[in-house]
Structure 1
Amino acid sequence: MTRRLGLREQHKRRTREAIGVAAMSLFFEHGYDSVTIADVARQAGVSVATVFNYFDTKEDLFFDEVDPLQAALVATVRDCPRGSSVLLALQEQVIYQLTAGRTDADADEVVRFHAAIVESADLQRHEQHIQLLRRQVLSQALAEALAADAHSFTAELAAAQYLAAEAVIGAELRSRLLGGQPLPAALTALQPLIAAVFTTLRTGLGPMVKAGAR
């Protein structure tokens, strides 16, 4: 019985992966907006119903790594040792995801991923929706880590600031890649920006005095 369940899970995993690969291949070749769920099903050799068994929406096909990345973000906060800086742990997570975690990435695929988002208003809207969901779960994780009330403004503000910082870093990466900079060089160039962004998070923005003569 255990072996049967194991084989079934393996089959489900392979089917999901095949659908995901088929979808991204079509999205990159024809553009996200031009591809339908029926196109993906045909490419993967499954029915449309089967696609929806694994993915709720077309956007989920594109942003297939959202759940594991969100889980990793929450785990970074929850696994931070007692007495250690949660902000430093989050900084190390950003460095890993954008640098060390990308060393084996297909550079061309990364570029096409970012280009597809820029070219599709639907993907841009869904990316914003993902950020709202991440803000909710990160805020909850931070409240637990800081032993704060579930609706603590500190946890909510910290989550919002972290995601804003992450967005600034991500936008810089996207700009460099779409401008033609090779992935390794772009990732290397991000490191001082990451350091500067997190220094600002730790020290605050200050009074933000307007510059220039009156």
Structure 2
Amino acid sequence: MTEHLGLREQHKRRTRDAIGAAAMSLFFEHGYDSVTVADVARLAGVSVATVFNYFDTKEDLFFDEVEPLQAALAAAVRNCPPGASVLRALQEQVVYQLTAGRSDADAEEVVSFHAAIVDSADLQRREQHIQLLRRQVLTEALAEALGTGAQPLTAELAAAQYLAAEGVIGAELRSRLLGGQPLPAALAALRPLTVEVFTRLRTGLGPMVKVGTRDDHP
């Protein structure tokens, strides 16, 4: 019985992987908005109903790695040793999150992924929704890591600030990749920006005094 269940799970995994691979191949070749779920099912050799057995929406076909990446983000916090800086752990995690842990060999796929989002309003809306989910997951992990002595607001603010920092770094990465810069060079260029952004998170923004002269006011 156990062997039978194992074979069934392997079959389900292969089917899911085949559907996901077919979807991304079509999205990258034709553009996300031009591809239908029926197109994906046809290429994968399954029915449309089978596709929806594995993926709730068309957007989920594209953002297939959301749950593993959310888990990795929470794990970066939870696996941080007692007494160590959680912010340092998040700094080390940020580039992995932006590239889904892909290597230089996957650079073309990373570029295609970012280009597809830029070209689709539906994907941009879904990306924003995913960020809300990630904020909740990260807030919970931070609250657990910081302990009962921390104010609940601290975890919420920290999660929001991390995602804002990730957004700044991610926008720079996307701009460089879509501008034609190779992935290794783009990641290398992001290192000083990442250090600066997380330094600002550690030290705070300060009072942010407006510059100008008295003549600027009536």
Q: Distance in 2 between matches of 1:43 and 1:178?
A: 28
Amino acid at match of 2:197: V
Aligned counterpart, 1:23: 23
Residues paired across the two proteins, number: 214
Cα deviation for residue 103 of structure 1 reads 2.6
Residue pair 2:69, 2:100 contacting (<8 A) in 1 also: no
Amino acid at match of 1:207: P
Aligned counterpart, 1:37: 37
Q: Distance in 2 between matches of 1:66 and 1:105?
A: 21
Residue pair 2:139, 2:159 contacting (<8 A) in 1 also: yes
* Deviations 1:21-41 (CA, angstroms, capped at 9, x unpaired): 000011111110111111110
Aligned counterpart, 2:68: 68
Q: % of aligned pairs identical? A: 83
CA RMSD of aligned residues (A): 1.7
Q: Distance in 1 between matches of 2:99 and 2:50?
A: 35
Amino acid at match of 1:34: S
Unaligned runs of 5+ in 2: none
Aligned counterpart, 1:180: 180
* Deviations 1:100-146 (CA, angstroms, capped at 9, x unpaired): 93334411111111010000000000000000000011101111111
CA 1:19/1:167 → structure 2, altered by over 3 Å: closer, same or farther? Answer: same
**3-state secondary structure, aligned to 1:106:** helix
Residue pair 2:99, 2:110 contacting (<8 A) in 1 also: no
TM-score (ref. length: structure 1): 0.95
TM-score (ref. length: structure 2): 0.93
Q: Following superposition, which runs of at least 4 residues in structure 1 exceed 6 angstroms of deviation?
A: none
Aligned counterpart, 2:210: 210
Residue pair 1:148, 1:155 contacting (<8 A) in 2 also: no
Aligned counterpart, 1:120: 120
Q: Distance in 2 between matches of 1:112 and 1:92?
A: 24
Residue pair 2:139, 2:158 contacting (<8 A) in 1 also: yes
Aligned counterpart, 1:198: 198
Cα deviation for residue 81 of structure 1 reads 0.9
CA 1:150/1:129 → structure 2, altered by over 3 Å: closer, same or farther? Answer: farther
CA 1:67/1:105 → structure 2, altered by over 3 Å: closer, same or farther? Answer: farther
Aligned counterpart, 2:170: 170
Amino acid at match of 2:102: R
**3-state secondary structure, aligned to 1:83:** coil
* Deviations 1:57-97 (CA, angstroms, capped at 9, x unpaired): 00000001111000000111111111111111111111444
Q: Any residues of structure 2 matched to 1:27-106 within 5 Å, and which?
A: 27-98=27-98, 101-106=101-106
Unaligned runs of 5+ in 1: none
Aligned counterpart, 2:13: 13
